[in-house]
Structure 1
């Protein structure tokens, strides 16, 4: 069955959709006074409702690194307002061998060059330059292997 011009255009747009979703989430963040690289490059889709609830869908849960390692669930939710993502769900950060949920991400003053991560027990200020580009986010097992370590299970030995 030959492709009509309309079906070809539809197929072309469907193939471009993941790129559009990824670039548009980063454009959305920038339009709200946030750095483009807060979410990884493997964003599949996102939605933003009238109340400001942002829901970001990733291909799968994954690990990335800003200053420390961060873990993204396959769905990350937050209330988006100018300069902030508040009430985050689905994002945790490694601090001193503990994984702590990131509650808020706030840019109070862009000219300061700092971004604030609220991890509940502490507020951590990081350089905005760490978030200029979307991080590479890999499944946990792949990241461990790339670090030169492999997860090993217990084996029964006689």
Structure 2
């Protein structure tokens, strides 16, 4: 082997490891959610890492604030926390959803009857029943506009995302 081949090998192996780690984090989180009776696409595609403690407290780290769409627009904070149990992701912090020109915090997701094909979304004032198929694949989440929206959201209703 030449010197160039030897120095390129560690770089190439590091790159493969990094790319597999990024893919693995998202797919592993999807697997965790699915093993708890939830759809795998509740979190967007830009998950950096996550942790689950023995009490079921899930913390998901994203690349940063971002906006995506399920049925309506949603904004994820860079850290999202919730209590994970079978069929539920409750006590959610770090996610807001647009409802009729208002931005409301999403408090949780719950699958009451897996055969119904529906997921219940708790937006504080009400529970919405949405098709589970909207949440099967992690959505692409983009940072454009999310930061400005959150500043306005916090001022209007006196709430700020946990940082």
Q: Into which bin does the TM-score normalised by the smaller protein fall?
A: 0.7 to 0.9
Structure 2 residue 103 is the aligned partner of structure 1 residue 87? no
| Distance change (3 Å), C-alpha of 1:138 and 1:5 | closer
Matched residue, 2:61: 57
Give how far 1:8 is off.
Answer: 6.4
Q: Where do 4+ consecutive residues of structure 1 move more than 6 Å?
A: 4-8
Give how far 1:16 is off.
Answer: 2.0
| Distance change (3 Å), C-alpha of 1:140 and 1:6 | closer
Give how far 1:6 is off.
Answer: 8.1
Partners of 1:41 and 1:88 lie apart in 2 by 18
RMSD: 2.0
Instruction: State the TM-score, normalized to the length of structure 1.
Output: 0.82
Out of 38, 41, 46, which is 2:42 matched to?
A: 38
The correspondence of residues 1-158 of structure 1 with structure 2, limited to 5 A, is 2=6, 9=13, 12-141=16-145
SS in structure 1 of the partner of residue 83 of structure 2: strand
Give how far 1:140 is off.
Answer: 2.8
Give how far 1:139 is off.
Answer: 1.1
The unaligned stretches of length 5 or more in structure 2 are 147-163
**Which of the two has greater helix per residue?**
2
Q: What is the aligned residue count?
A: 142
Give how far 1:17 is off.
Answer: 1.2
Partners of 2:76 and 2:45 lie apart in 1 by 12
